[in-house]
Chain A
Amino acid sequence: ATPAKRYAMVIDTRKCVGCHACSVSCKTENDVPLGETRSWVEYIEKGDFPEVRRSFLPRLCNQCEKPQCVSVCPTGATYKRKEDGIVVIDSNVCIGCKYCVQACPYGMRFINPTTGAADKCDFCLHRVENGLVPACVNTCQGKARIFGDLNDPDSVVSKAVRANALTVLRPEMGTGPMVFYIDADHTDARDAARLGTYVRIETNRRQQERV
């Protein structure tokens, strides 16, 4: 048997230009219906004129090490694959109860209107299984997305993990995300009131509030 893999992604936000090539490639790759998104890019604009900044935060399923979505699933439709750690949904088993949708602390899940099953980013399993990088990684304009196997010390992702200061989203949730960020802006809309400055978060999707 081949040794187990642990797929992970590092997103170097310094290289992200907010171009949405990833969002769109994800839609075409996975036929994601309008209104739902597996992958999106948030714009975080803040400051006061003329000291204004805008940074970009690409979002996708974290393929958590301790995925809440898996532990709440009553049918076992969603599970974390032993062979590579990807959290997947079996759309033939899922009943669409939306419990996992509620459970994901990152708002990554939705019910796909065509299948009636829960859906989310699966690291493009069908590509990865065939030795290709995910669609969003392949197209990434800034080459900001680095993908690979953390169990392989020579993989680009292992190297990136070793060489950089990393953060994950909402670490306090204890989910153990496998999507890591370099230089991410963790500013939240709620910080605006506290800081007394202008902060605008745009999610560029139907759910206009960040989840």
Chain B
Amino acid sequence: MLNRRNFFKLSAASAAAGVAGTMTLKQAKALPAWNGGKDFSHKTGRQRKAVPSACLQCVTRCPNIAYVEDGRVVKIEGQPNSIRSEGVMCAKGQGGVNQPNDPDRVLYPLRRVGARGEGKWKRVSWDEALGEVTARLQKLRDAGTPEKFMFHYGRMKASTSKMVGEFLKTFGTGTIGNHTSICEGGKWVAQEYTWGAHYDSWDFDNTRYVLNFGSNVLEAGTNHIPTSHRLIRAITDRNVKLVTFDVRLSNTAAKSKEWVPVKPGADLAVVLAMCNVVMNEDLYKGDGEAFLQYCKATAKHDATTAEKIASLKAHFAPYTPQWAAKISAVPAETIARIAREFATTHPACVISYRGAIAHYNGHDTERAIQTLAAITGNIDNPGGRCKAVGPKWHYPKGISEKPKARKLDILDGPKGAAVSPNHHMSHNVLKMIKDGSNGRPDIYMTYMYTPVYANGEVQENIDILKDETLVPFFVSVNPFYDESAALADLILPEPTYTERWDWEDMVSPTQVAEFYIRQPAIKPLGDCRDFATVACDLAERLGTPLGFKTKEEFVRLSCEKTPEVAAVGGFEYMKAQGVYHDPKAKPRYHSYKVEVSPAAYQKDTVVYDPQSGVYWDWKKVHVVSREEALKKGYTHTKHAYKGYVGHRVGDKVYSGFKPDKVNTSGYFEIYSSIMEDKGLAPLPTWVGVPEHENMGADDMMLTTYKVATQIHSRSQNCKFLTEVNHDNPAWINPKDAQRRGIKDGDKVKITSPVGGIETEAKVTPAVNIGVVAISHHFGHWQYGRYASGHKAPEGRDDDPDLQRIWWKDDRGVHPNWMIANSPDPINGELRWMDTVVQVRKA
């Protein structure tokens, strides 16, 4: 949209920019992608205001730069100084500019006036809104039942999570739910059982081979941009081989040297068979064998390496590639060949995500994958599967006097539904409320979480939330009018992430910590308030001020308290630069090999537990005496991991794999005594998905996935993203389609025991036989006009693009109407990818 007049202005502007302009031009010569944090208006040629901040479209939270013109966020780019993103940004991050400018945003607190869900609202003041919440909270506290305030959050991270956490603790409720079990909780638990804590970082910059089970790393992933662009670089510049096991041809599979279509839920069989090949063919020799020293592979922690090898050989012996081929529909030769390639190319990185773990057998799938990495010596090494490294922020702690939290036992699902739901069972919270036998919250407040849409069994979620006898007061903290907010009694509008403060802490794929902050590019529109600041306000209203009043203050104090950041200039430095990493820092590998100083493990309150090999501080876990500690032992003392100091390997004491959820031993636990204790197989063991084992001839397996241009349910009102992708036809293999007389584009009916949908078929060979794949982002019935065609209350009409929506008849159908909220029996993860369905022509 150039015109000559502007064009002259443009040239003048660049002349005025003078030296700076030339400088970047030289950089442009040297670097293909680099904007130096600058941007110019295409309309006026003027330079725009640049605000270093951080993305929050997805959980990756990349540092970014927001550009502001005439008080509007007009553009978001990558942060060139970030070691994580190296300045690149994904489509979702780019589309983030649509969030603050969303014409369907909720800008003022809204109180329901009609019946619940009827869609009638009135604008109320913050004072009125918070007055009501405070009164209700006060009543609960006065009655001694603070636990009847349930706070249920989704993507709450870093400083927000700390501040809100302080508020909840101060109030005294422990009824705090998250969304982790519908996300990747299962993977986390499996990791907590093997190497103590969760999150694996993939060192693509140094790897030579990447083996992928069910991760769509090039389109999704919780550390998406930092890992994906490195993986592309690895596979093209360094010719690293990428092999992807997926039930459909994701873009990651498409960019892989090899796509191996695997039967849903059968990855475990494949991985077990790979372990079999590695052990059977002695491919563990070398780095794998050396690493076994740090592994627990038998009941005894101090077994010799030979004993460990014998144990593993024996355990994996039945899991031959031929055996796995029958289960997974992957040829035995392929399994064996890839196992050999993986084991003999050093270093190599095995990666996994929800495709592998959101299953009945997800827990052992991830444990088996960890095992495969361990026995080939690819754990926490350059080029392997590493322990996460993130920045350690110091932050103000609020008041020290906190009541002992009380909580309703509704977070972990029905008794016995999962053995170890370390990250709860969010998808069963509403069911538990309906059931009522463990009590019901009087106030149900959600933050950045949409229980209606994000869980399975959508209809039941709606029915429960609509029922005022089950959920008497429902508050949704939300910048948008999503399907859940539509059922709320009160909507507290939060500004979008471009208008907020935060310090951020996502892990780094370079194993060097990066500190970064999010700062508002513009003042919050309307009367939106950062919920963390609102929480401070609520605390104050309740007579228990937290000691800080706003998020900005919290971030500033954190910058001053955090030594690394304070040293370079604290808050002012971070506001100006956005990111900081220590340029001299060395990447952190082999963290488990750090020796613990004798002073630390010879302390009075520390005992050695010969059974597990752990030194632990009994005082920290409130054990009464040393004797008691010695008697009870580490493994069987509740929360003993909190006192973990180190563990003995041979004659040395190492920091080991420090546990943070269960009492693991500091060893890399291929063999899990805790599992054994719970009556489960201690070594990764095959178990099939029950539904898949009893399938009728006409049944198919439903799977769901993410696309590169959308984030869950929350990006569909971003017009530029939804323009690229707005529907989610059901992928079906031509073989399956033909048998059912389905042609490309036909309407099909898909039904499960839970529900059914009618949608469009996309007949494509890019999906495994027997599988229907439906992405989960679409089929909204609220959220705004770009997403669903429905205007939010008080939606504005000032965006001319509202007249140009051309996908009105093409908005897809949400698959979660027919997915059951049923958990992985071990870790509680929702089994997203196990649903059995019938598909027929509509």
A and B touch in the complex (CB under 8 A): yes
- Chain B interface size band reads 35 or more
Docked-complex contact B14 and A129, CB < 8 angstroms: yes
Q: Give the segment of A95-103, A151-159, A187-195 that binds chain B.
A: A151-159
Kindly report which residue of chain B lies nearest to residue A51, judged by CB atoms. Answer: B765
Q: A33-B801, A131-B23, A139-B77 are in contact. Are A49 and B261 (CB under 8 A)?
A: yes
Q: A45-B766, A142-B229 are in contact. Are A21 and B94 (CB under 8 A)?
A: yes
B22 at the interface (CB under 8 A from A): yes
A122 at the interface (CB under 8 A from B): yes
A18 at the interface (CB under 8 A from B): yes
Residues of chain B lying within 8 A (CB to CB) of residue A20: 91, 708-709, 724-725
Docked-complex contact B806 and A35, CB < 8 angstroms: yes
B32 at the interface (CB under 8 A from A): yes
Contact of B249 among A52, A147, A148 (CB under 8 A): A52
Docked-complex contact A19 and B764, CB < 8 angstroms: no
CA distance A198 to B252 in the complex (A): 20
CA distance A129 to B89 in the complex (A): 23
In chain B, residues 77-113, which have Cβ atoms closer than 8 Å to a Cβ of chain A? 77-78, 87-91, 93-95, 97
Contact of B4 among A56, A93, A119, A141 (CB under 8 A): A93
Q: B232-262 CB contact bits vs A (8 Å, 1 = yes)?
A: 1100100000000000010110110001010
CA distance A148 to B3 in the complex (A): 23
A88 at the interface (CB under 8 A from B): yes
Docked-complex contact A29 and B232, CB < 8 angstroms: no
Residues of chain A lying within 8 A (CB to CB) of residue B625: none
Docked-complex contact A155 and B29, CB < 8 angstroms: yes
Residues of chain A lying within 8 A (CB to CB) of residue B765: 47-50, 52, 198
CA distance A146 to B34 in the complex (A): 11
Docked-complex contact B708 and A139, CB < 8 angstroms: no
Residues of chain A lying within 8 A (CB to CB) of residue B768: 49-50
Docked-complex contact A31 and B42, CB < 8 angstroms: yes
Least CB distance from A38 to B in Å reads 10
Docked-complex contact B97 and A28, CB < 8 angstroms: yes
Q: Give the segment of B5-13, B278-286, B440-448 that binds chain A.
A: B5-13
Residues of chain B lying within 8 A (CB to CB) of residue A91: 1-3
Docked-complex contact B21 and A45, CB < 8 angstroms: no
Q: B13-33 CB contact bits vs A (8 Å, 1 = yes)?
A: 110010011111111111111
B228 at the interface (CB under 8 A from A): yes
Q: Give the segment of A64-72, A107-115, A165-173 that binds chain B.
A: A107-115
Contact of B88 among A112, A131, A143 (CB under 8 A): A143
Kindly report which residue of chain B lies nearest to residue A152, judged by CB atoms. Answer: B29
Q: A126-B45, A143-B33 are in contact. Are A28 and B74 (CB under 8 A)?
A: yes
Docked-complex contact B251 and A138, CB < 8 angstroms: no
Residues of chain A lying within 8 A (CB to CB) of residue B2: 88-91, 122, 125-126
Docked-complex contact B249 and A131, CB < 8 angstroms: no
CA distance A141 to B425 in the complex (A): 35
Kindly report which residue of chain A lies nearest to residue B30, judged by CB atoms. Answer: A156
B720 at the interface (CB under 8 A from A): yes
B39 at the interface (CB under 8 A from A): yes
Residues of chain A lying within 8 A (CB to CB) of residue B735: 49
Q: A23-B724, A138-B87 are in contact. Are A133 and B32 (CB under 8 A)?
A: yes
Q: A20-B708, A30-B1 are in contact. Are A129 and B10 (CB under 8 A)?
A: yes
B719 at the interface (CB under 8 A from A): yes
B348 at the interface (CB under 8 A from A): no
CA distance A49 to B41 in the complex (A): 48
Docked-complex contact B806 and A34, CB < 8 angstroms: yes
Docked-complex contact A21 and B7, CB < 8 angstroms: no
Contact of A34 among B14, B17, B25, B801 (CB under 8 A): B801
Docked-complex contact B4 and A25, CB < 8 angstroms: no
Kindly report which residue of chain B lies nearest to residue A21, judged by CB atoms. Answer: B91
Most chain A CB within a 10 A radius of its CB, from B97, B255, B734, B805: B255
Docked-complex contact A19 and B24, CB < 8 angstroms: no
Docked-complex contact A143 and B32, CB < 8 angstroms: yes
CA distance A118 to B23 in the complex (A): 33
Docked-complex contact A17 and B1, CB < 8 angstroms: no
Docked-complex contact B13 and A130, CB < 8 angstroms: yes
Docked-complex contact B34 and A133, CB < 8 angstroms: yes
Kindly report which residue of chain A lies nearest to residue B229, judged by CB atoms. Answer: A141
Docked-complex contact A143 and B232, CB < 8 angstroms: yes
Docked-complex contact A12 and B236, CB < 8 angstroms: yes
Docked-complex contact B32 and A131, CB < 8 angstroms: no
Contact of A129 among B11, B41, B801 (CB under 8 A): B11
Residues of chain A lying within 8 A (CB to CB) of residue B800: 33, 114
Least CB distance from A2 to B in Å reads 10
B530 at the interface (CB under 8 A from A): no
Docked-complex contact A148 and B1, CB < 8 angstroms: no
Q: B48-89 CB contact bits vs A (8 Å, 1 = yes)?
A: 000000000000000000000000001111100000000111
Docked-complex contact B40 and A15, CB < 8 angstroms: no
Docked-complex contact B232 and A92, CB < 8 angstroms: no
B494 at the interface (CB under 8 A from A): no
B833 at the interface (CB under 8 A from A): no
CA distance A28 to B69 in the complex (A): 13
Docked-complex contact A140 and B75, CB < 8 angstroms: no
Least CB distance from A181 to B in Å reads 14
Docked-complex contact A130 and B21, CB < 8 angstroms: yes
Docked-complex contact A112 and B78, CB < 8 angstroms: no
Kindly report which residue of chain B lies nearest to residue A89, judged by CB atoms. Answer: B2
B804 at the interface (CB under 8 A from A): yes
In chain A, residues 66-89, which have Cβ atoms closer than 8 Å to a Cβ of chain B? 88-89
CA distance A63 to B76 in the complex (A): 26
Docked-complex contact A138 and B1, CB < 8 angstroms: no
Least CB distance from B131 to A in Å reads 40
Residues of chain A lying within 8 A (CB to CB) of residue B116: none
B interface residue numbers (CB < 8 A to A):
1-5, 7, 10-11, 13-14, 17, 20-36, 38-43, 45, 47, 74-78, 87-91, 93-95, 97, 218-219, 225, 228-229, 232-233, 236, 249, 251-252, 254-255, 259, 261, 708-709, 719-721, 723-725, 733-735, 764-766, 768-769, 800-801, 804-806
12 contacts between A and B (CB under 8 A): A18-B251, A19-B228, A24-B720, A28-B76, A33-B801, A34-B723, A52-B765, A54-B251, A92-B4, A132-B38, A146-B32, A198-B734
A interface residue numbers (CB < 8 A to B):
12, 14-15, 17-21, 23-25, 27-31, 33-35, 45, 47-50, 52-56, 88-93, 112-115, 117, 119, 122, 124-127, 129-133, 135, 137-149, 152, 154-156, 198, 200, 204-206
Going nearest first, the 3 A-B pairs with the smallest beta carbon separation are: A131-B25, A49-B765, A54-B254
List 18 additional contacts besides A130-B13, A138-B35; criterion CB under 8 Å.
A18-B708, A21-B91, A25-B94, A28-B74, A28-B97, A45-B766, A50-B259, A50-B261, A90-B2, A112-B1, A133-B34, A138-B34, A138-B87, A139-B94, A140-B33, A143-B233, A144-B232, A206-B806
